[in-house]
Structure 1
Amino acid sequence: MKAITTVLLMSLFVLSSCGQDKNEGKENGVQTISLEQTDGEFKQKTLTLKEGTYVFEIANKDVAHEVGFVLAPKGNTNEANHIKAAYVTEPVKTGSTSKTKEVTLKKGEYVYFCPLNPTPEYTLLVN
């Protein structure tokens, strides 16, 4: 009986450990993508992600003013097509970070940029 109990406990431990490893780096299935802005550019020039739900964390690395974040479908970057949930929850001050709300991305091509710290449009590809 003791051997059966030991085997069951070990099995539960292994199963719970496997479940934790699967979600490593995610919180409730939501992955955080960290991006850094310097003067006039993002350090990360392209992103390739899988379909899913993400939060973007934007860092202001020594830009002397507040920065932001815009995500939009490629070719549709006018304000009406911005993915509003991808706006940072507050402008990002020098030396700080801010996050977006949860954003669910489907397969396709997107662009990200910052109009406050005029940056080029960078490609975000979702497979």
Structure 2
Amino acid sequence: MKKFIAVIVFALAFTVSGHAQDKMNTEATTVALEQTKGEFTQKSLTLKEGDYVFEIANKNVGHQVGFVLVPKGKDASNPENHISNAYVTKAVENNTTESSKVTSLAKGEYIYFCPLNPTPQYTLTVE
């Protein structure tokens, strides 16, 4: 019986630590961005290499907005170059906020913009 209990305790401890490790691996920093008519209020960003969730607020644009992130130098008009995890999970309705999935960013330069608003292309630098 003691051996059986020891096996159960070990299995439970392994499961709990495994879930804790999974949680640690999926922690991401939230980057909040606001869109107004025709622009983002944040004109550039500098981040550290890591995992991010982009939270996009539609501040009275009057229609749906979105978010596109592309490595700098790639054709931003080609959806194949977009970092799809950075898309908001659904279009951001007027005066609401939506978030992206967790997006891993490596060192380099990126551009972000909204084709629905539409906005200029802004620079995001990852150090």
Specify if TM > 0.5: yes
Q: CA deviation at 1:29?
A: 3.0
1:122 aligns with 2:122: yes
Query: How many Å separate the matches in 1 of 2:122 and 2:99?
Result: 18
Match in the other structure for 1:50: 48
Describe how 1:58-97 pairs up with structure 2 within 5 A.
58-76=56-74, 77=76, 78-97=78-97
TM-score (norm 2): 0.77
Counterpart secondary structure, 2:80: helix
Alpha-carbon displacement from aligned partner over 1:67-120 (angstroms, at most 9, x marks no partner): 000000012112110000011000000110000000000000000000000100
Residue 104 of structure 2 corresponds to which residue in structure 1? 104
Report the AA paired with residue 49 of structure 1. Answer: L
Aligned AA (1:88): V
Runs of 4+ in 1 over 2 A off after TM superposition: none
Structure-2 separation of matches of 1:75 and 1:69:
18
Unpaired runs of at least 5, structure 2: 1-25
SS in 1 for 2:85: helix
Q: Are 1:31 and 2:20 matched, yes or no?
A: no
For normalisation by structure 1, the TM-score amounts to: 0.77
C-alpha displacement of 1:126: 0.2
Partner SS, residue 112 of structure 2? strand
